[in-house]
Structure 1
Amino acid sequence: MARHEGRGMASVNYPIGMNLGGDPSQALIHSNPDGKFTVALSAIDLGQGMKQVSRQIAAETLGVPIEDVYVDTADSDTGPHDMGSFASRGTHRMGNAIIVAAREARGVLLEAAAEELEVNASDLVTDGRGNIHVRGAPAKTITVKATAQAAQFKQGKTIAGRGIFLIPLSAVDAETGEMNPNTAFAHACLVADVAVDDETGEVEVLRMTSAYELGRVINPRMVEQQLVGGAWMGISHALYETPEPYYPNPEHGPRDFNEYLMPGPGEMCANPVLPAVANAVYNAVGVRVDELPITPEKILRGIKANGGVKPGPRRGGPVNWR
């Protein structure tokens, strides 16, 4: 028996959203009399943290505390139109729609405050803590709550905003119909270090090193959590997840997700793990598995078919055990 170490690499260019009809997202924002703001969306939070990111974007654009913003993922029959929560489009598409809506609502908010303070709206700034004051004269101030009440009960104004975000349509080749269906991309590279047991065929993932280019990160903590969770999901997909050998008869299979071999969540961050692990196994023992999951049985059959273990060259030095 011997353990063979291998290293595999994979890179990903991940498309965001689509280009069908401009891939529109819409957002509506309005203020309540207590100075709190509601953001209405039709796209839903699937656990990817869209509500939190939407609150951050709205609060920053409005200039109010984040705790004063509530995000309502309304029923699609009553909420503003949206193409949906898929293709990692939420932050980019919905976030930009929220910015447009929040800017409009902020304009009405400052106009109402200007009327109460008897100044020009262009002279007003928000402090992000629920106050509006004259630029350079912080003593001349009014709260967002007082402004919202004055707007609704005194001035007859609705502090609200509408926003839509569209992607410029791709040019279409008249002869071939070719077009670019995507308009934004994220990029990633991942290196997996594994050890493969040539007697049992078992694979142990020793280490994963990854780099992601995501543009501006709205919530670093959530991104970090998704990268870690996505890596676990990728390992699960690469090495464990399968209904075999019981499919379609589940009698001897897992009864619920507590028994199902699926260690984590993720989307783009799960994708490069699969080819990287497959490349690492090939580098370790010379077996190219092209059907997931990479089970011990498949590795042992591959070793037998190859006439033994045939490890590839290693670059980058020994694996760092942890």
Structure 2
Amino acid sequence: MALLRGRGVAAVNYPTGMNLGGDPTQALVFSSPSGNFMLSLSSVDLGQGMKSITAQICAETLGVPTERVTVDTADSDTGPHCMGTFASRGTHRAGNAVIAAAREARQVMLEVAAEILEVDAGDLETDGSGDVRVAGAPSRSVTISEIARVAHFEQGRSISGRGIFLVPRSYPDAATGAMKPATCYAHACTVAEVEVDDETGEVAVLALRNVYEVGRALNPRMVEQQLVGGAWMGVGHALYETTEPYYPARDHAATDFTQYLMPGTGDLAETDVIVLERPAPDGPYGGKGPGEMCANAPIPAIANAIFDAVGARVDSMPFTPEKVLRAILAIRG
């Protein structure tokens, strides 16, 4: 019996969204009479931080503090259209739609402020803290709350905006079938270090070293949390999680997480995450879609590390002790 160590590396690139009829998403932004803003989306927050990041994008575009923006994801009956929260498209598609809607609302806001201050709207700027001021003359300013009040009750105007993002559709070449399935790609590389028990086939992940290129980290702390969690989701796919032998029959399927194998806190190994930023020209403030990609690279990296440790290739997930042991016995005759 021996505990054998191995190291494996894997690199992936991942498309943001897809080419599906343009893959559109819409957004609506409007102000209350008090100068707070409501952002309406049908892009669902699955726990990945959709509400936080779209509120930031909206606030940045409007030029107001983030806490003045409330995000309502409603549902597909009452909200503006969205293709869905999948394919790592949420931040990219919804973010671009939010920018378009917020720009339209911002223009109305500046036009109302221009009448109050008796200047041209093109001479105004927002200070990010809740005021609109004359560029070069910060003492001449008006609060966004006052602008909203005047717009609603004196000028009869709605400070609102509509936005949609539609990817230019790529049609297959008739002769070759070539097409452009995505407009930007995120990238990742993982180095996994494992220990394999050659008597039982058990695999322990000792360390994960991850590098992710995400376009631009719009919320760096939230990106880091997503990347670490996603990497360990990949470990779950690689070593633990499966629907077999129950799928498609569910007669003896797991009923809760005490019966469904997945890594727990005691299984988490040393994990490093390095974030590289290469802003996407068509991304919201350069952002891409790293979501699902987080889990991709660790899986082949672990498979390669097992091969490096014992010289046996396991090519079906999950890499259970039984599969690893059978592979070891096969190469040893």
The farther-off stretch of 27-36 and 117-126 is: 117-126
Measure how far apart 1:177 and its partner are: 3.9
Q: Which amino acid aligns with 1:130?
A: G
Residue 46 of structure 1 corresponds to which residue in structure 2? Answer: 46
User: In the comparison of the two structures, how many residue pairs are matched?
Assistant: 306
Residue 319 of structure 2 corresponds to which residue in structure 1? Answer: 294
Tell me, yes or no, if the aligned pair for 2:26 and 2:82 is still in contact at 8 Å. Answer: yes
CA deviation string 1:261-310 (max 9, x = no partner)? 2248x6211111111101100110011111111111111111111117xx
Equivalents in 1 of 2:237, 2:190: separation in Å? 15
Residue 301 of structure 2 corresponds to which residue in structure 1? Answer: 276
TM-score, with length taken from structure 2: 0.87
**Long gaps (5+) in structure 1:** 309-322
Equivalents in 1 of 2:251, 2:201: separation in Å? 25
Measure how far apart 1:57 and its partner are: 0.3
Q: Which amino acid aligns with 2:299?
A: L
Answering whether residue 127 of structure 2 is matched by residue 127 of structure 1, we say yes
Equivalents in 1 of 2:179, 2:227: separation in Å? 31
Answering whether residue 138 of structure 2 is matched by residue 138 of structure 1, we say yes
Q: Per the alignment, in what secondary structure is the counterpart of residue 22 of structure 1?
A: coil
Equivalents in 1 of 2:186, 2:241: separation in Å? 26
Residue 231 of structure 2 corresponds to which residue in structure 1? Answer: 231
Answering whether residue 99 of structure 2 is matched by residue 99 of structure 1, we say yes
Residue 15 of structure 1 corresponds to which residue in structure 2? Answer: 15
Equivalents in 1 of 2:49, 2:226: separation in Å? 10
Residue 195 of structure 1 corresponds to which residue in structure 2? Answer: 195
Equivalents in 2 of 1:135, 1:152: separation in Å? 25
**Long gaps (5+) in structure 2:** 265-290
Equivalents in 1 of 2:303, 2:79: separation in Å? 44
Tell me, yes or no, if the aligned pair for 2:32 and 2:148 is still in contact at 8 Å. Answer: yes
Tell me, yes or no, if the aligned pair for 2:7 and 2:304 is still in contact at 8 Å. Answer: yes
Among candidates 270, 289, 306, match of residue 331 of structure 2: 306
Residues 196 and 41 of structure 1: CA distance in aligned 2, closer, same or farther (over 3 Å): same
Residues 193 and 38 of structure 1: CA distance in aligned 2, closer, same or farther (over 3 Å): same
Q: Which amino acid aligns with 1:214?
A: V
Task: Give the CA RMSD over aligned residues.
Answer: 1.7
Q: For 1:74-223, what aligned pairs fall within 5 Å after superposition?
A: 74-223=74-223
The farther-off stretch of 19-28 and 32-41 is: 19-28
CA deviation string 1:188-210 (max 9, x = no partner)? 11110111111121111111111
Equivalents in 1 of 2:165, 2:81: separation in Å? 11
Q: Per the alignment, in what secondary structure is the counterpart of residue 129 of structure 1?
A: coil
Q: Per the alignment, in what secondary structure is the counterpart of residue 227 of structure 1?
A: helix
* Identical aligned residues as a percent: 65
Measure how far apart 1:254 and its partner are: 4.5
Equivalents in 1 of 2:13, 2:233: separation in Å? 19
Structure ID, larger Rg: 1
Residue 67 of structure 1 corresponds to which residue in structure 2? Answer: 67
Measure how far apart 1:125 and its partner are: 1.3
The farther-off stretch of 39-48 and 104-113 is: 39-48
Measure how far apart 1:22 and its partner are: 1.4
TM-score, with length taken from structure 1: 0.90
Measure how far apart 1:245 and its partner are: 5.7
Measure how far apart 1:20 and its partner are: 1.8
CA deviation string 1:61-96 (max 9, x = no partner)? 000010000111122122222211110011111101
